[in-house]
Amino acid sequence: MSRASRIARALALGTGFQALVMVVGLVLTPVLLARLGGVCYGEWLIVGQALALLALLDLGIISLLPREVATAVGGDASDRGAAEVVRRATWLVWLQTPVVAAVTFGSWLAFTSARPDLAGPLGVSLGGFVALFPLRVFGAILTGLQDLVFATGLNALGWAITTVLSVVLAFSDWGLYALVVATLAGQLVGAAVAYVRLRVRFPEVRAWSGRPDRRDLWALLKPSLWASVYRLASLLGSGSDLMVVGWFSGAEAVVVYSCTTKLPAVILQPLTTIMLTSFPALAELRTKDRAGFWRAARAVGLFLVIAGGLAGVGVAALNAAFVTSWVGADRFGGQALSLMAAAVLTVRLAVLSVSGPAYTLGWERRLAGASIAEGVVMLATGVAGTALFGPVGVMFGVLAGQLLVLGPLSVMILAREAGVRYWVVLGWFAGWGARFAVSFAAVAVAAVALPVTDRLVAAGVGTAGLGLYAVLTAPMLFRDPLRTYQPAALTALIRRLRRSRPQPHTLPPS
């Protein structure tokens, strides 16, 4: 099976899985709100972001491991290179585990001193986090080996276990323990199945016995540190919004903010998967076929922004009606917050379309430094914006960090690697940008002028806006670079339609 076919299959399965996750999550949220209460649920959302910060204790090894494994496979005719990468990563993760345990215990003491009522659920959650910390390496190795369909199915299995247990335990009045136990169970099963898959399907890339020397460990740890800084910066900005809102407005405001931005947040996840799924293939192409790398990077980036624009226009039109129908009008944060969330959704994906390929080119150090600056800009602007304008001000911080820091640097990196001017890279997406701006502006005006909390009105605005966007952007799907990756059946159909098009009649000479 070709690389493009593997990615296409994984994307199809992953998109279907993410759609299912989105629907089930939207159904379960009102249930959890009713069972836990608004304040308790809001506090748990804040704790979730704190747990995401603790995940950074792996120093970026897990996030970088898929790329390193894929690069080793692409650059070594044998499997020795990949096995050596696995050996180093495994040793580093196990060496980190005692430190992770100590830091996690200190975090538990600090948090529960302010909220002793959460000591039990948080203790179980953090204890499970430490126990499962070294087991995350197995799933990362599978992704690096481009066993993408199985990895996606494995994620679906873990999610299914978590979802079913959450429902059962919530209706058994377990409270917050329902979320904690269900999440840990899904992660444990996923890690166990990934380990078995590696033993059976890829025994040649298992870690060799013997401890690597310090130079070998540092060779992997050095780029991982920059990747960890990159993740820290992302969480510092975009991953701290609930904390900022909670600090200024309280836990109830966190619930309102979370519900209003829920739809763009769940849509962002599957669309981000488009780029993340292509990372191992891009890393392999970087070592084997430079021209193929640029062709694939442009195609993935353009497809990502087209999909992101479609999502942004749809959210701008439908989010108000969706939130009021989903959790009630009292938990809708207003049209300004809704439109800003839609714009942020598209901007994030547009920046990812250039920062993703830049990352696979090995610019961890430069991107990490830029991400720290981006995180500082996001947090500072978000805090100032929230203090002045309320929860909608957080969105100003996200836009500032993405458009002023990470986006421009990623464009310059791609321009340098491709040997072109930076405006040439911008030109790859300029046609899409103009089409999106027209469509989004039209929908935003309609959303402000019309009562789009009414489902019929929202449906009309959404149909018109999405139709306009589709008409404007559809031709781009059938031009280079996306045309290169069209399925053969679709290409044949397009050629047949073109040949069957009536030809203009010409008059014979008089």
Please check whether residues 200 and 243 belong to one and the same domain. Answer: no
Contact 276, 15 (CB under 8 A): no
Highest mean pLDDT among 17-26, 134-143, 193-202, 338-347: 338-347
Please check whether residues 321 and 347 belong to one and the same domain. Answer: yes
Asked whether residue 490 is assigned to any structural domain, the reply reads no
Cis upstream peptide for 30 (omega within 30°)? no
Number of structural domains the chain divides into: 2
pLDDT at 77: 45
Lowest mean pLDDT among 169-183, 202-216, 320-334, 446-460: 202-216
| Spatial distance between the Cα atoms of 146 and 140, rounded to a whole number of angstroms | 10
pLDDT at 309: 95
Model confidence pLDDT, tens digit, residues 357-416: 888 887 767 777 777 788 788 888 989 999 999 899 989 988 998 899 888 988 999 888
Highest mean pLDDT among 36-45, 49-58, 161-170: 161-170
Please check whether residues 379 and 421 belong to one and the same domain. Answer: yes
DSSP 8-state assignment for residue 136: G
Nearest to 32 by CA among 234, 207, 177, 248: 177
Burial of 213 (0-12, 13-18, 19+ CB in 10 A): exposed
Q: Is the pLDDT of residue 155 over 70?
A: yes
pLDDT at 490: 43
Model confidence pLDDT, tens digit, residues 124-133: 888 998 898 8
Q: Is the pLDDT of residue 207 over 60?
A: no
Q: Global pTM?
A: 0.70
Q: Is the pLDDT of residue 119 over 70?
A: yes
Asked whether residue 507 is assigned to any structural domain, the reply reads no
Please check whether residues 60 and 122 belong to one and the same domain. Answer: yes
pLDDT at 491: 47
pLDDT at 70: 76
Lowest mean pLDDT among 192-196, 299-303, 492-496: 492-496
pLDDT at 74: 63
Please check whether residues 234 and 134 belong to one and the same domain. Answer: no
Secondary element (H or E) of residue 94: helix 80-114
In the chain, % of residues over pLDDT 70: 81
CA distances 63 to 124, 213, 407, Å, are 25, 22, 21
Q: Going by C-beta distance under 8 Å and a sequence separation of 6 or more, which residues neighbour residue 242?
A: 45, 46, 48, 49, 254, 257, 258
Of the three residues 212, 244, 270, the one that is the final residue of a domain is: 212
Please check whether residues 126 and 254 belong to one and the same domain. Answer: no
Confidence of residue 253 (pLDDT cuts 50, 70, 90): confident
Helix axis angle, 407-418 to 364-389, nearest 10°: 160
Higher pLDDT, 500 or 457: 457
pLDDT at 161: 93
Asked whether residue 476 is assigned to any structural domain, the reply reads yes
Higher pLDDT, 345 or 502: 345
Asked whether residue 32 is assigned to any structural domain, the reply reads yes
Helix axis angle, 262-288 to 335-360, nearest 10°: 10
Lowest mean pLDDT among 79-93, 253-267, 395-409, 429-443: 79-93
Q: Is the pLDDT of residue 423 over 80?
A: yes
Average pLDDT over residues 245-254: 82
In the chain, % of residues over pLDDT 90: 23
Q: Is the pLDDT of residue 355 over 80?
A: yes
Contact 254, 246 (CB under 8 A): yes
Higher pLDDT, 195 or 112: 195
Asked whether residue 153 is assigned to any structural domain, the reply reads yes
Asked whether residue 500 is assigned to any structural domain, the reply reads no
Model confidence pLDDT, tens digit, residues 431-476: 899 999 999 999 999 999 999 999 999 999 999 999 999 999 998 8
Q: Is the pLDDT of residue 272 over 50?
A: yes
Average pLDDT over residues 146-174: 84
Please check whether residues 435 and 472 belong to one and the same domain. Answer: yes
pLDDT at 200: 86
Please check whether residues 204 and 244 belong to one and the same domain. Answer: no
Asked whether residue 107 is assigned to any structural domain, the reply reads yes
pLDDT at 497: 45
Please check whether residues 195 and 238 belong to one and the same domain. Answer: no
Please check whether residues 175 and 234 belong to one and the same domain. Answer: no
pLDDT at 10: 59
Asked whether residue 304 is assigned to any structural domain, the reply reads yes
Q: Is the pLDDT of residue 493 over 60?
A: no
The domain in which residue 400 lies consists of: 226-481
Please check whether residues 284 and 345 belong to one and the same domain. Answer: yes
Contact 264, 315 (CB under 8 A): yes
Q: Going by C-beta distance under 8 Å and a sequence separation of 6 or more, which residues neighbour residue 351?
A: 402, 403, 406, 407, 410
Average pLDDT over residues 163-167: 87
Lowest mean pLDDT among 48-57, 91-100, 374-383, 489-498: 489-498
Average pLDDT over residues 151-157: 84
Please check whether residues 269 and 408 belong to one and the same domain. Answer: yes
The two three-digit tokens of residue 311, written as one number: 């999502």
